[in-house]
Structure 1
Amino acid sequence: MIKITGEHHFAIDRTLFVFALDSEAGKVFNEKNKLVTGIGKVNAAMELTQEIQRNRPELIVNLGSAGSRSFGKGEVVCCTKFIQRDMDVRGLGFEKYETPLSGIPPVLEYGLLKEGLPQGICGTGDSFEMNHAETDYNIVDMEAYPLALIAMKKNIPFLCLKYISDDAGSEAAEDWAVQVHLASEAFNKILF
């Protein structure tokens, strides 16, 4: 069983663990229901949708690396708010981050809180940020937003935990390459 809060427990065999890269999962998740989507919003959306059609889970857990200037390297942060950071249609009169005509607010709020972890707002986009300066979100990744959106639309409980691998600054690429391999052990300690 995975204990999220005192009232939320889920069977491990009915939980889908979603990663962008196998290196984020390590060997810890080899015997679990693991989905590796590939990098980016389109890959994440496509792979999760197909997996739900094949085998609908009781819980979707997105685990992955992320950059942040607000949280330290090696911290695991729980996200329940998501922004599509590369959606900008203000020129047509929409709010920054709003997907036009979707009915979804610019900040998508969906997901379970994991007790004992700090909370963050995840800005998802199809770019690796190395000069992060945005204040509307304090974590940057490349897959969480569509995963949260799909889970919400399919009415499946969702947990998003991000391992902070870098500060989304000028050294982000080098830091990520070193830190990403430590993510699975951090997730293992928190979840099992």
Structure 2
Amino acid sequence: MKASERRLIAILAVLAAVCGGAILSQSLLRKQRELERRTQALELKQMEATAMLAEADLWKARLEWMRSNQPAMTSDSQATQALLDEMLAAAARHNLVVQKKSLHEATHQSFYNEVGATLVMEGDLPDFFRWLHGMLSPESFRMVSLLKIAPDAQDKAKITFTVRLNRRHSTALTAVDDSQPKEGGSL
């Protein structure tokens, strides 16, 4: 083998070693970035867990308040009618004229049951907001899912309101006693 051939082989070997080193270093840098990303994600999860543990007593107190204060439903129709009656009584106290009313089908979720009613009312804006403020106290578990406010076409001093109010109940039924075996069956 000639000297020039040996030099060529040596240059090829050095070039292969440099290329191999570059590829290996790129791979190691990718792995290092992935490990750093995972480390940051774990640190973030640890901070979130620490914050949640620090707030655990607060959330336990909130859950206990909700369990003790959220009303239970006796039936869908009774709960919906009770909500509508409360809405109508409050509207009368605040001098709001109810033009239209409708009940909505109850929805059942894993953590709550929800009933709703929609009213179309007419009256003064301050009276409406007093009515709305009174209807939305936290203890009542009511919320507004639709609100439209428009000036009345005939009387510009009056406002027409369309409001859908929902009330959330606990999933426990109060009127049903399932502890007693039913006829022809067992628990």
Task: Indicate the structure with greater helix content.
Answer: 2
Q: Same fold (TM over 0.5)?
A: no
Higher CA-based Rg: 2
Bin for the TM-score computed over the shorter chain: under 0.3
TM-score, normalisation: structure 2: 0.21
TM-score normalised according to structure 1 size? 0.21
